[in-house]
Amino acid sequence: MDQSPPSSFDIEYHLQEIEKITAVLSRMPNDHLGPQGTAIPDIEWYALGAIKKTASLSHAFCTLVRAKNTLSAAALVRLQLDTAMRMFGLTLVEDVEAAGIWLMDDNIYRKLKARTGEPLSDAFLHRKLNEKYPGLSEAYEAASAYVHLSGRHIKTGLWSREGTKTLFFNLHGTDDTRPDEWFADIIDAFDQATRLTAELTSQFLNKRSRDRRKI
């Protein structure tokens, strides 16, 4: 039986939930691609890369949040969404096997085209994915603000002191005085991005597995 979340925000509980997702992800290859040593095409190697990247970013995110490094942790939401968008993009191409060869030759992803002719740019992908998951484009834009130097990097460092209207700016790399609740929105955004990436990767590999059984 799954443990119910605590009534107050428990940062460790929520980080462990993210870590559980990556544990499930790591079992996907055996479930969908066969036992270790099975020969797989290039496009499935690309999917393995998505699993590895998702796990690596999740590990980094949890480490950064535990260290209360707000800005670095927040930027990883955008990178996690990038993986989800690229796995989704593979469902839009005409020839997914050719796409796999193209990508594994270190060619540029955005030069791939959808069946309708549009290049698979980040803007196209997040807008198309937003049609299936409303709110994704808004989350993408919010997360992107942490990647490039913006007002977010200033506002995140501002804090007030009781008894004065003066705002202070924290120049340190971590936000040690922030309560756990301060990280709730960032953790929720990363959790959703990770779940979306896992869902899209699982759907992709599951379809590949079903198609193989039909041959």
Q: Residue 172: what pLDDT?
A: 79
Whether 7 maps to a domain, the answer reads: no
pLDDT band at 30 (very low <50, low <70, confident <90, very high): confident
Assigned domain for 108 exists = yes
**Residue 40: inside a domain:** yes
Q: Does residue 5 lie in a domain region?
A: no
The tens digit of pLDDT for each residue in 172-197 reads: 778 888 889 999 999 999 999 999 99
**What is the percent of the chain where pLDDT is above 90?**
66
Its pTM surpasses 0.85: yes
Summarised one tens digit per residue, pLDDT across range 98-113 is: 999 999 999 999 999 9
Cα-flanking dihedrals φ and ψ of residue 158, to 5°? -85, 140
For residues 124-134, give the mean pLDDT.
96
Residue 33 · residue 207 · CB < 8 Å? no
Query: What's the structural domain count of the chain?
Result: 1
- The residue range of the domain holding 109 is 12-172+179-214
Query: How sure is the predictor about 32, in pLDDT bands with cuts at 50, 70 and 90?
Result: low
Whether 148 is in a domain gets the answer: yes
Burial status of residue 65 (CB atoms within 10 A of its CB: 0-12, 13-18, 19 or more) = buried
Do 22 and 51 contact (CB within 8 A), yes or no?
no
Is 20 a residue whose pLDDT tops 90?
Answer: yes
Identify whether the C-beta of residue 182 lies closer than 8 Å to the C-beta of residue 70: yes
Which has the higher per-residue pLDDT, 134 or 173? 134
Q: Are 201 and 51 in contact (CB under 8 A)?
A: yes
Residue 116 lies in a domain: yes
In a domain, 79, yes or no: yes
Q: Are 174 and 164 in contact (CB under 8 A)?
A: no
- C-alpha gyration radius of the chain: 20
Q: Which of 16-30, 102-116, 200-214 has the lowest mean pLDDT?
A: 200-214
What's the rounded Cα separation, in Å, for the pair 162 and 168? 11
Average pLDDT rounded to a whole number, residues 157-177: 76
* DSSP secondary structure letter of residue 67: T
pLDDT in tens, 36-75: 666 788 999 999 999 999 999 999 999 999 999 999 999 9
What are the φ/ψ torsions at residue 151 (nearest 5 degrees)? -60, -25
Distance between CA 47 and CA 99 in Å, rounded?
12
Which residue would you say has higher pLDDT here, 91 or 153? 91
Indicate whether 6 belongs to any domain.
no
- Over the chain, what is the mean pLDDT? 89
